[in-house]
Chains A and B, each alone.
Chain A
Amino acid sequence: MNVILIAVISIGVIALVAALVLYVASKKFAVYEDPRIAKVAEVLPQANCGGCGYPGCSGLASAIVKAGSLEGKFCPVGGQPVMEKVAAVMGLVAEAKEPMVAVVRCNGTCANRPRINQYDGVKSCAIAAALYGGETGCSFGCLGCGDCTRACKFDAIHMNPETGLPEVDDDKCTACGACSKACPKGIIELRKKGLKNRRVYVRCVNKDKGAITRKACSVGCIGCGKCEKTCPFGAITVENNLAYIDYNKCKSCRKCVEVCPTHAIIDLNFPPKPAKPAAPAAEADKPVAKPAEAVQSAAPVAMPSAASIVSLLPQANCGACGFDDCPAFAAAIVKDGGIGDKSCSVGGDEVMAKIADLLKNGPKAPAEAPKAEAAPAPTEQPAVAKTAAPAVELVNIAAHPKVDVVAKIAAQALANAAKHPVKADAAVVDTTPIVPVKTTGLLAIKRAAKTQEEAVAVVEKIASTLL
């Protein structure tokens, strides 16, 4: 009996002393934390992925509470619903933000982009990128080793073994940005998810000149600029031989997708478009009308000489069409027996129409060629676009004694026009030279004017101010 009593008392005393020590310690060494941090952390998804830019969910919670506002903070995993819950805890209002998704900007599949060597080494994109430009002729494209797939914590990106490219699962992707950071080539971009998951983007990051890109990959962007001209919303910019669609301006009209000669622009998750009418419309001014189709359906005429085609071309020799220079472009047309899907972005639809005309109707008097003077003769058809696609015409100011000044003034005119609202009957003159003014003396003018005469008048006015 005594033994039991002693045992019980001694253990009880030890327990009491231990409890006292613990109580004192918990009070003395307590760390004060704002209770809201715990409340906010509770409503967060607990993925601890770092997609918000903070270390883990508790990191985001502390940052929000410390800052006292939701400015600049967003949980991509939880999305809008979770941010609203956080706002409720904090007593704030959550700002609406569009959901984003990761997009793989490369379509260089094994079929499109043939391999020209074999990589032997660790299957890691970071290591392969340090070694060389890759197994294909495109040194910008996806290396296919899967660093992005390993970086993803949401099982949202996987390599497709047939194409050799990563594919994003829209439903699982939380736009945390891990794959984008892991990719050493910068191919993965976070873009707006779009209504009904539909989005349009350029599936290429190749900055090589068009001819080189074309050789390496059949669906690469050659920087021809057709999309830039076609876009009614000014959402596309072409820089360094690569087109980029600004997802804030893009309205998913898909006009650029139709005009892209290499099919580098992708419209994802759209329903298939109804088939276009085969015959061209009665009006001659379709924005992306292919005169070539009309030519090929007509009875074949004897092919004109390459020289006669060359004389119609702008002589820019810029290579934007994908061929080395204008004679090569003309020779290719003669060789292929038709225009096919070739186009001259500098000359634009007008020049292509003239070529189509030439092919259909045979050579005419050389007077048709665009004149190398300040005021070009008007062509048969008014080349005014029904929609907003501006035509490009060339005005040769090489002869002008102050050619550089003219270019500068014209540019200033544009800037001024941008500042003030444009009147319906005014001409907006965009004089970004497509080719160096010094070398060719040609100043390309883009306009949204109603008639060609107006643009000509504008240029004459500019030139006359200097006389």
Chain B
Amino acid sequence: MLKTFSIGGVHPHGNKLSAGQPIVKAEIPAKVAILLGQHIGAPAKPLVAKGDTVKVGQKIAEPGGFVSAAIHSSVSGKVSKIDTIIDASGYPKPAIFIDVEGDEWEESIDRTDTLVKECTLAPEEINKKVADMGIVGLGGACFPTQVKLSPPPTFKPECVVINGAECEPYLTADHRLMLEKAPEIVVGVSILMKSMRVNKAYIGVENNKPDAIAALEKAAKDFKGIEIVPLKMKYPQGGEKQLIQAIIDRYVGSGALPISTGALVQNVGTAFAVYEAVQKNKPLFERVVTVTGKSVKNPGNFLARIGTPIQQLIDACGGLPADTGKIISGGPMMGKALVNTEVPTAKGTSGITIMNQKDAKRGEVQPCIRCAKCVSACPMGLEPYLMAQLAEHAEFERLEKEDIMDCLSCGACQFTCPANRPLLDYISLGKARVGAIIRARSAKK
């Protein structure tokens, strides 16, 4: 019996069109726009100004607060301006624009491919290295990793859980990474275990990736305490709370941190980035991005430098299809629709999914038929039909009582709804307003 989470879940089509495509290095663009807000928390503060020359891997922005991350240049060249550009949020955000000249790397980075298994650093030093190298969670949320690796002392970490589920349809970046870089990932996991002072780790992988599971199992043989856990294919298996419940059968409470269950969760891409940071002195400035879609000529997985305009990656796949309806940063379930192709890739860009006109158009909205399929689909045991109705009528106090802040915004409810009701549109509004009310209340105290 494959492990899985017990409440809710849906089964979208996998559409893993690019699963067989090995990772290729994307061409270095002529200009990059490196956003200053690529992570949760305060935007980074630029350390360079117009006209400065930078090298690959050079720190160009420092953390803007405790919950923040450093940013490193992904190219070598000259800073042309510090201006705003529209990013995945749909609004213009500040970014450092660099005109690329050559590909000169910082000397401290180890560019060789040899596997470095031993890590001689102490846990605090690991944490500092991770912070210095600008590592953030690469699963999409981009939480600064050094903050996650230093939880409040009231929590006792017991194990590390690595998220290799990749439950979003279309995306295959993590799959290819696990297949091609399994030994490095496993070393990264062992470094994370050392940093958290635990001796048990689980890597959860959905069973639609048997080759990745085999590769990881082979690599993990040399390490004590690392177990590969195949998981049933169900969305949203990759959600932190669902992953913890499936693997170690513990539930995260309302408003509580996942570390309260004793598990530290990191994406498999983050584990790889930690390996490169600690063992190869390589900061986070490039990552694997899947570019895919039913009408895309050659879907593929690219190792792209941060700040590359997505138009370039789309061109590398055969260009933008004529019937394009939506361009999504991420997958179709939780990804953000982009307004143009000038948007630069950021640390959290795991994929670009191109949907054709037919798939992109939402169906006609019909009245709610009270079928309760949304309730069955919700992985948090909430009632989406009720939350959407209350948000529409601005009943925010009652919404808070319905535990709306537990909502993951995974979209399983709207995916399932036979009447095509825009449940998540209303629920997102409700979450934003209730969140503001809660913050105002705690600020008053």
Which A residues lie at the B interface, using CB under 8 A? Answer: 116-117, 120-122, 124, 126-127, 130-133, 139, 208
Q: Contact between B91 and A139 (Cβ–Cβ < 8 Å)? A: yes
Bound-state CA distance A120–B364 (Å) is 11
Partner of B362, one of A116, A117, A121, A124: A121
Q: Contact between A121 and B92 (Cβ–Cβ < 8 Å)? A: no
Given known contacts A120-B362, A121-B362, A121-B422, is B339 in contact with A130 (CB within 8 Å)? Answer: no
Given known contacts A116-B339, A116-B340, A117-B339, is B91 in contact with A124 (CB within 8 Å)? Answer: no
Chain B: residues with Cβ within 8 Å of the partner, total of: 16
* Distance from A194 Cβ to chain B, minimum over Cβ atoms (Å): 33
Q: Contact between B425 and A122 (Cβ–Cβ < 8 Å)? A: yes
CB-defined contacts of B312 to chain A, threshold 8 Å: none
Partner of B92, one of A117, A124, A133: A133
* Distance from B333 Cβ to chain A, minimum over Cβ atoms (Å): 16
Given known contacts A116-B339, A116-B340, A121-B362, is B90 in contact with A127 (CB within 8 Å)? Answer: no
Bound-state CA distance A425–B90 (Å) is 55
Q: Which residue of B lies closest to A131 (CB)?
A: B90
CB-defined contacts of A208 to chain B, threshold 8 Å: 92
Residues 331-344 of chain B, each 1 if its beta carbon lies under 8 Å from chain A, else 0: 00000000110000
Q: Contact between B429 and A132 (Cβ–Cβ < 8 Å)? A: no
Partner of B426, one of A127, A131, A133, A139: A127
* Distance from B207 Cβ to chain A, minimum over Cβ atoms (Å): 34
Bound-state CA distance A133–B360 (Å) is 20
Give the tally of cross-chain contacts (CB within 8 A).
38
CB-defined contacts of A132 to chain B, threshold 8 Å: 89-91, 339
Within residues 260 to 291 of chain B, which ones have a CB less than 8 A from any CB in chain A?
A: none
Q: Contact between A122 and B426 (Cβ–Cβ < 8 Å)? A: yes
Which B residues lie at the A interface, using CB under 8 A? Answer: 86, 89-92, 339-340, 360-362, 422, 425-426, 428-429, 432
A and B contact pairs by CB, cutoff 8 A, 23 listed: A116-B340, A120-B360, A120-B361, A121-B362, A121-B422, A121-B425, A122-B422, A122-B425, A122-B426, A124-B425, A124-B429, A126-B429, A127-B425, A127-B428, A130-B428, A130-B429, A131-B90, A132-B89, A132-B90, A133-B86, A133-B90, A133-B339, A139-B91
CB-defined contacts of A130 to chain B, threshold 8 Å: 428-429, 432
* Distance from A398 Cβ to chain B, minimum over Cβ atoms (Å): 20
CB-defined contacts of A124 to chain B, threshold 8 Å: 425, 429
CB-defined contacts of B422 to chain A, threshold 8 Å: 121-122
CB-defined contacts of B91 to chain A, threshold 8 Å: 132-133, 139
Besides A120-B362, A127-B428, A127-B429, 18 new A-B residue pairs in contact (Cβ under 8 A), listed by A number = A116-B339, A120-B360, A120-B361, A121-B422, A121-B425, A122-B422, A122-B425, A122-B426, A126-B429, A130-B428, A130-B429, A132-B90, A132-B339, A133-B86, A133-B339, A139-B90, A139-B92, A208-B92
CB-defined contacts of B90 to chain A, threshold 8 Å: 131-133, 139
* Distance from B339 Cβ to chain A, minimum over Cβ atoms (Å): 5
CB-defined contacts of B339 to chain A, threshold 8 Å: 116-117, 132-133
Bound-state CA distance A130–B433 (Å) is 11
* Distance from B99 Cβ to chain A, minimum over Cβ atoms (Å): 16
Bound-state CA distance A208–B86 (Å) is 12
Bound-state CA distance A130–B90 (Å) is 9
CB-defined contacts of B432 to chain A, threshold 8 Å: 130
Bound-state CA distance A208–B339 (Å) is 18
Q: Which residue of A lies closest to B421 (CB)?
A: A122
Bound-state CA distance A352–B146 (Å) is 57
CB-defined contacts of A131 to chain B, threshold 8 Å: 90
Bound-state CA distance A208–B91 (Å) is 12
CB-defined contacts of A122 to chain B, threshold 8 Å: 422, 425-426
CB-defined contacts of A127 to chain B, threshold 8 Å: 425-426, 428-429
Bound-state CA distance A130–B339 (Å) is 14
Bound-state CA distance A113–B426 (Å) is 28
* Distance from A124 Cβ to chain B, minimum over Cβ atoms (Å): 7
Bound-state CA distance A126–B427 (Å) is 12
* Distance from B432 Cβ to chain A, minimum over Cβ atoms (Å): 6
* Distance from B224 Cβ to chain A, minimum over Cβ atoms (Å): 47
CB-defined contacts of A120 to chain B, threshold 8 Å: 360-362
